[in-house]
Amino acid sequence: MKPKLRHWQYQAPATRSHSSEIKQRIRQYLKRKVMKSSSPPYQHVCQVGDPGLRSKASPVDPVEICSPQVQKVIRTLIKVMRKLDCNGLSVPQIGVPLQVTALEFTECMLHENPLNAREIKGLAPFPLKIFVNPSVRILDSRTAAFVEGCESISGFSVCVPRYHSVEISGLKERGESVSWQTSGWPACIIQHEMDHLNGVLYIDKMDSNPLNNFGE
Ligand SMILES: [Zn+2]
């Protein structure tokens, strides 16, 4: 899941050198998004329209968690999430239909948000958390709508109503049991990532009022 950051920037008209720079960026984009389509787990994030994003992920057999294959999937998930500087990412987004998700909110991400946003969203850093076969229990069914982005719907962000407080339970990256109770923004990230494991995208749940939604 992508944190919402808004940038308003003057764009100068394209000059010859600027235009070659644009071509170079397009080549890099194609290399990243299209040409680099090796086998899963991908080093890129699948985009909306990919059928893998609309399927329910399968649970990981607990005896397989420490296998080289599953460990490679988890390592790749973390690597891609950090490369994209996002708060959460799920394994179906890198092309593997398994119930594994990663969450992380660093001190650096916290400081990218203005003070009032930190208060409203209840932002606080938390270390990397991996959940294998997670389930979620709602602790507070009141809802709040935060602006969310998603690496699988690149370039957009919308308001999505989410439950205020939840508990997520599952297994850690080496198979130990884990559960975490949280509220505000982390609860929002958890619900967003759980949706990915069920083939659901935020466009299925977003606030339908266009005045509350906007692109990046
Ligand atoms: Zn997402």
Instruction: Convert the pLDDT of each residue in 116-161 to its tens digit.
Output: 888 888 889 999 999 999 999 999 999 999 899 999 999 999 999 9
Which residues are catalytically annotated?
193
**Which among 80, 120, 72 is positioned nearest to 104, based on CA atoms?**
80
Domain 40-215: homologous superfamily in CATH? Peptide deformylase (3.90.45.10)
Question: Between 46 and 31, whose confidence is greater?
Answer: 46
Distance between CA atoms of residues 216 and 200, nearest Å: 21
Residue 214 CA to ligand 1 centre (angstroms): 16
Query: What is the pLDDT at residue 150?
Result: 97
**Which among 122, 93, 119 is positioned nearest to 105, based on CA atoms?**
122
Instruction: Convert the pLDDT of each residue in 78-112 to its tens digit.
Output: 999 999 999 999 999 999 999 999 999 999 999 99
Query: What is the pLDDT at residue 11?
Result: 36
Residue 155 CA to ligand 1 centre (angstroms): 12
Average pLDDT over residues 172-181: 98
**Which among 119, 162, 121 is positioned nearest to 142, based on CA atoms?**
162
Q: What is the pTM of this model?
A: 0.81
| Extended strands (E) in the chain | 88-90, 100-105, 126-149, 156-171, 177-183, 214-215
Residue 12 CA to ligand 1 centre (angstroms): 32
